[in-house]
Structure 1
Amino acid sequence: MVRLAAPDEIFADYPVRGQTRIKVMTAPPAPPAGVTYRPMTAAEYPAWLAAGEQRYLADMVRAGSHTPEQARKKAEEDSARCSAGRGHLRPHLLVLQADGEPIGNGWLRHGHLPEVTYGYSLVVDPEFRGRGHGRSAMAIGEQVTWDVGDRAVMFNVFGGNEAAMSLYTAVGYRVVEETRSCDLAAGVDG
């Protein structure tokens, strides 16, 4: 496994397992047209947490960074930590809406680093994808970040999610670290 801060052709054939991305904002972001947000309610929280755990598990397996068993264990541990620390993480749990209808959600942690919000998730539900809502969701994340006084948004994206990586590049997020690994055949001496 290697962690890269810049592309290196030596590792070009190693699959991407994950990327850390960031966008520094120098001016308030423009609010998106047609998509709004509201705080997540306590009643919505349990279903959001369960769905997020399953999505997280699937992302780790798809990226090839964890076996299904490892991913399940990590997802359960991280979910429990999230649930237990909900009041202490300064989270901002959002429900994204278009025409008053929920279309997705977001989980942002403000002050992750000085003036940096960490985006744990920003999700547009599958039936609403392909309509520009992904760009709107990113803009909302930036708007909320700016409004609380942070000036950068940072997050991880798992390998195998080329559609998301393409979106993030298109809206100005740069890669600060990329993890790649190559599985070695059993019995290979190294």
Structure 2
Amino acid sequence: MCNTRRLEDIVIVMEDCLIKLDNFREAYKNTDDMYAKLFMEEGFKGYLKSFQEQLVKYLAHTSKGLYNKRDKLKYKDIIQIHKNNNQLENVSLEFLLQLRNDRNYFAHGYEQPDFQGIYVFFYRYREEFDEVIKCVRNTIKKELERKNQEKYNSKSQLLDSIEIAKQLLDVLDEETISKKLGLDLEIIKSLKK
């Protein structure tokens, strides 16, 4: 069970990052100011870092029941568990691990990888970023379908209980029917009318 609202928020941030990363190339080419380019490069790294952080939130949010959080799992193991559970199924392990490594470099302020390497990485794996978003959207869709099915089953059970209550009205008193079927006493009383 997932909170679809949180997953939708994750998708929004991921898509925003991709829009900004996609628009980077044109803006970068159109400036000659070296300081502006440096700031733009840092922004590019920041959006990649933010995308990865959203991916980690997605993994954490969808991990319930997949593994025990007390287990000492490596990131690669966590990714593999999610892939085996049909999450991130069309996303390459190589891409996910490289994205994580780059994020760690950005987060800790290391100079490696250099900007050119990050830039090449993004365009080399551009389609993989879209696949990650598709996977998150697919998780949202599956969760909404599960919730709808749950509501349908609940309504169906309620209708079945009401039908049974109608049949029992001639045999049992209202309070006994209410206790046995878990129906509100007022509902049972209204069936008599």
Choose between structure 1 and 2: higher helix proportion: 2
- Does TM, scored on the shorter chain, surpass 0.5? no
Choose between structure 1 and 2: higher strand proportion: 1
* TM-score w.r.t. length of structure 1: 0.23
Higher-RCO chain (CA-CA 8 Å, sequence separation at least 6): 1
* TM-score w.r.t. length of structure 2: 0.23
Highest CA radius of gyration, 1 or 2?
2
